[in-house]
Amino acid sequence: MTDTTTQATPPSGNERDVLVDVRGVKVHFPIKRGVIFDKVVGHVYAVDGVDLQIRRGETYGLVGESGCGKSTLGKAILNLEPPTEGSVILDGTDIASLRGEELRRRRKDIQMVFQDPMSSLDPRQSVESLLVEGMRAHGLDTDGASTKKRLRELLAAVGLPAAALTKYPHEFSGGQRQRIGIARALSVEPKLIVADEPVSALDVSVQAQVINLLEELQDEFDLTYLVVAHDLAVVRHISDRIGVMYLGGLVEEASADDLYAQPLHPYTRALLSAVPVPDPSVEDTREQILLTGDLPSPSNPPPGCRFHTRCPWRQETKCADERPMLRVVQVDGVDPSHRVACHWVEQIASGEIRPHDVSPVYVTPGGGDAGALDDDTFTGPASVTEVI
Ligand SMILES: Nc1ncnc2c1ncn2[C@@H]1O[C@H](COP(=O)(O)OP(=O)(O)OP(=O)(O)O)[C@@H](O)[C@H]1O
């Protein structure tokens, strides 16, 4: 069986609008065995050929099941996990090619906000020392009289009082700690912030505040975001465009509105179909797709389409033989920027190919706005892990 690959359609968008250009990125972790020789016996194909572009000023949401490679892709963009193959071009420069002072200068342009601020903030350091440390690490002058003013401004920007400077992380609530993490990221004036599950450790009520803060800061400081999350409601709320990942690859990419209104890849349809809709009349009539089979291991991904082992629409034998790449699709009403990695997406959308072995609750698509949630609230089970 061959694992041939069809040609990917390049993402659309003006070159100058693109801040981050991810091309053919793979991150493969070696699996080693043996006490003495550390023999490589296999690889975890955590990220396995991803192309995406993040435009200046936008929020790109990356969503997918646990273990699909979202965080590893985020780290590859930060060069914390150097790609095994492929390139990440930031503002026209391949980050992997940089060394020394140039690398440090460019690294400042991308900052990370972590899921658990407690583990990313040293509990022995005051907020002032945490912020100053971050700035010094990137070569910024922190000795001048203006530093204190800058620190107060940073705290004000994230909604914390100046008095917070002398306090320690344990003296704050989870939401406040996340604000400190955001202030730390902002302190070096980055262009891109990679936020990895930025609110999943927080209470629902606090999640909305932090999401709203991120949105306000984006406008104020001209920021671009890559938000990695498994919560579909959070991703929908915050993102301009969304990429759906499955087993190391992007299977669908579209504007947030397009993706939720017209999910086309069978995996995305399954994800969104399982998000409860508050309106019972919609809930009763909409499509629900329950996937069969377990998520394959990223150390032994299926050949061909990674999703074919669980896909209700799979076809012999192309799906098992040929890996589909992201491409623009010819489906009525679908924006040309909407890309899908499925050989049969047009035939599935037209109903020419019908699903098999799906749950009995499958209903003809078209009913309802799957995953619709109030703009300002993040309620209801909408996480990928709950869905699958
Ligand atoms: N340093 C590493 N060494 C070996 N395997 C790794 C390493 N980091 C991640 N992996 C594996 O790579 C795969 C993808 O992990 P990753 O954390 O990127 O997924 P994810 O989609 O972000 O999941 P989650 O939401 O659970 O964090 C997983 O199987 C994970 O176990």
pLDDT digits (tens, 9 = 90+) for 234-289: 899 899 999 999 999 999 999 999 999 999 999 999 988 877 766 666 666 667 78
Q: What is the largest CA-CA distance in the chain?
A: 70
82 alpha carbon to ligand 1 midpoint, in Å? 14
Q: Domain count of the chain?
A: 1
Atom 4 (ligand 1): residue with closest C-alpha? 29
Predicted local distance difference test score (pLDDT) of residue 175: 92
In degrees and rounded to multiples of 5, residue 162 shows phi and psi of -60, -30
pLDDT at 17 over 60: yes
| 383 in contact with ligand 1, CB cutoff 6 A | no
Assess whether the C-beta atom of 169 lies below 6 angstroms from ligand 1.
no
Residue 349 CA to residue 270 CA, distance in Å, equals 14
Do 196 and 115 form a contact (C-beta atoms < 8 A)? Answer: yes
Residue 106 pLDDT > 90? no
pLDDT attached to residue 377: 36
| CATH number of domain containing 73 | 3.40.50.300
How far is ligand 1, taken at its centre, from the CA of residue 378, in Å? 26
> For atom 6 of ligand 1, which residue has the closest CA?
29
Q: Please indicate whether residue 28, judged by its CB atom, sits closer than 6 Å to ligand 1.
A: no
Could you tell me the distance, in angstroms and rounded to a whole number, from the CA of residue 80 to the centre of ligand 1?
Answer: 13
pLDDT band at 380 (very low <50, low <70, confident <90, very high): very low
Is-contact 19 191, C-beta < 8 A?
yes
Higher pLDDT, 47 or 9: 47
Q: Are 316 and 233 in contact (CB under 8 A)?
A: no
What's the gap in Å between 350 CA and the centre of ligand 1? 36
Supply the pLDDT for residue 1: 43
**Residue whose CA is at the smallest distance from ligand 1 atom 5:** 29
Beta bridge partners of 192: 110, 224
Rounded to 5°, the CA angle 238-372-200 comes to 45
Residue to mutate, 70, 77, 199, ligand 1, most ligand atoms under 8 Å from C-beta: 70
In this predicted structure, the answer to whether residue 191 has a pLDDT above a threshold of 80 is yes
Least confident of 217-231, 284-298, 313-327: 284-298
Q: In whole angstroms, how far apart are CA 299 and each of 46, 296, 305, 306?
A: 8, 8, 15, 12
Residue 180 lies in a domain: no
Looking from the CA of residue 245, the nearest atom of ligand 1 is 21
Range of the domain at 78: 20-107+226-387
In this prediction, residues 40-62 reach a mean pLDDT of: 95
Task: Decide if 117 is inside a domain.
Answer: no
Instruction: Tell whether 85 is covered by a domain.
Output: yes
- Residue 387 confidence class, pLDDT cut points 50, 70, 90: very low
Q: How far is the centre of ligand 1, averaged over its atoms, from the C-alpha of 58 (Å)?
A: 26
The C-alpha atoms of residue 27 and residue 331 are separated, in whole angstroms, by 32
Is 169 inside any structural domain?
no
For residue 64, the ligand 1 atom closest to its alpha carbon is 21
CA of 316: how far to CAs of 184, 231, 326, 327, in Å?
52, 33, 20, 21
Q: Is 40 left (phi over 0), alpha (psi -120 to 50) or beta?
A: beta
| C-alpha pair distances (Å), 359 with each of 257, 274, 342 | 27, 12, 21
Centroid of ligand 1 to alpha carbon of 66 (angstroms): 8
94 part of a folded domain:
yes
Q: Which pLDDT band holds residue 12 (cuts at 50, 70, 90)?
A: low
Judge contact between 114 and 80, C-beta under 8 A. Answer: no
Is the confidence at residue 293, as pLDDT, over 90?
Answer: no
Mean of per-residue pLDDT scores for the chain:
85
Rounded (5°) CA angle 200-202-204: 90
For residues 337-364, average pLDDT: 79
Q: 213 or 277: whose pLDDT is higher? A: 213
User: Does 64 sit in the ligand 1 pocket, CB within 6 Å?
Assistant: yes
CB 168 less than 6 A from any atom of ligand 1: no
Beta bridge partners of 245: 250
pLDDT surpassing 70 at residue 361: no
Q: Is the pLDDT of residue 227 over 60?
A: yes
Other beta carbons within 10 angstroms of residue 273's beta carbon come to 24
Atom 30 of ligand 1, nearest CA residue: 67
What are the DSSP E strand ranges found in 104-217? 110-113, 192-196
Q: Which of 77-81, 96-100, 212-216 has the lowest mean pLDDT?
A: 96-100
In a domain, 187, yes or no: no
**What pLDDT shows up at residue 341?**
97
Q: How confident is the model at residue 86 (pLDDT cuts 50, 70, 90)?
A: very high
The CA 22 to ligand 1 mean position distance, Å, reads: 19
* pTM for the predicted model, two decimal places: 0.87
- For 305, the 3-state DSSP assignment is coil
The pLDDT value recorded for residue 282 is 62
Give the pLDDT band (50/70/90) at residue 50: very high
Q: What ipTM is given for this predicted complex?
A: 0.97
Angle, alpha carbons 369-259-320 (nearest 5°): 115
Among 195-209, 234-248, 363-377, which is the least confidently predicted range? 363-377
**Is residue 360, in this structure, part of any structural domain at all?**
yes
Strand spans (E) along 265-329: 322-323, 327-328
Residue 122 domain flag: no
Ligand 1 neighbour 362 (Cβ under 6 A)? no
pLDDT band for position 11 (50/70/90)?
Answer: low
Which one-letter DSSP state was computed for residue 231? B
Question: What separation in Å is there between the alpha carbon of 72 and the centre of ligand 1?
Answer: 6
- Point out the least confidently predicted range of 28-32, 52-56, 199-203, 302-306: 199-203
User: pLDDT class for 385, splitting at 50, 70, 90?
Assistant: very low
Q: Can you tell me which atom of ligand 1 is nearest the CA of 197? A: 25
Ligand 1 centre distance from Cα of residue 248 (Å) = 10
> Quick check: CB of 44 below 6 Å from ligand 1?
yes
Distance separating alpha carbons of residues 298 and 326, to the nearest angstrom: 19
Examine the pLDDT at 358 and tell me if it is beyond 70: no
